[in-house]
Amino acid sequence: MQDSRFIKWWLRLIWVLVILLALIGIGMVLRRSLILAGMIPSVNPAGGKPFDDKITSQPVLTFVHMLPGLLFMILGPLQFIPRFQMRYPRFHRRSGRVFVVCAYLVGLSALVMAFRAPIGGVNETAATAFYAIFFLVALSLALRYILRKQVLLHREWMLRAFAIGLAVATIRPIVGIFFAFSGLSPQVFFGTAFWIGFTLHLVAAEVWINCTRS
């Protein structure tokens, strides 16, 4: 009985974190959309260039990345709720297809953006490119396995892809911690924050996959 309660408690905590991160991701899209529309100013840290120079200098690529990212954050959690899958199987399948298309657009555009004036220089480019490629490979394997009706393998690779996509929301608090306590400039710590955020999510996904594989 105690084990059952402990598991339920962990499940609730994980879902709270997933929903919180998805909301952060949605908030990021809305904020950047307002910046591109000229309705709010960009953040301009002391000693560094404005954070949003990259998105304002390439608005088309930014929207190709952000708008599918918005659907990724909204539809992603729904793909992993068993009760939702069983109760609304048709919507689950259709929304899953939209989710996959959006995920590919997010990954490909992130790969392109990685090489265009990153704040954290080569370190940020390396982290973004490495995990964007991993994200696209995981997504492709998830698609391959579901087409072969290998549902468990599909689930595992989809979890990895979703975890990497969700990491962009975790990177923001990590950047905030560096700002508050490191005393370093964004050009120095941005790449490190990306490596930490993506790697934490990949480790968490592997732990979850191994704990729930049975």
**What SS3 string covers the chain?**
CHHHHHHHHHHHHHHHHHHHHHHHHHHHHHHHHHHHCCCCCCCCCCCCCCCCHHHHHCHHHHHHHHHHHHHHHHHCHHHHCHHHHHHCHHHHHHHHHHHHHHHHHHHHHHHHHCCCCCCCHHHHHHHHHHHHHHHHHHHHHHHHHHHCCCHHHHHHHHHHHHHHHHHHHHHHHHHHHHHHHCCCCHHHHHHHHHHHHHHHHHHHHHHHHHHHCC
Quick check: pTM over 0.85? yes
Dist. CA 170–CA 94, nearest whole Å? 28
78-96: pLDDT as tens digits: 988 888 888 888 998 899 9
CB atoms within 10 A of CB 150: 13
The 10s digit of each residue's pLDDT in 138-151 is: 999 999 999 999 99
Least-confidence region, from 17-21, 149-153, 181-185: 181-185
Q: Which domain holds residue 202?
A: 2-212
Q: Could you tell me which residue, 153 or 57, shows the higher pLDDT?
A: 153
The angle formed by the CA atoms of residues 201, 140 and 148, to the nearest 5 degrees, is 120
List the one residue out of 17, 7, 2, 13 whose CA is nearest residue 173. Answer: 17
> Using an 8 Å Cβ cutoff, are 169 and 25 in contact?
yes
User: CA–CA separation, 131 vs 164, rounded Å?
Assistant: 7
State how many domains the chain has.
1
Q: Note the pLDDT tens digit of each residue in 107-122.
A: 999 999 999 878 888 9
How high is the pLDDT of residue 50? 58
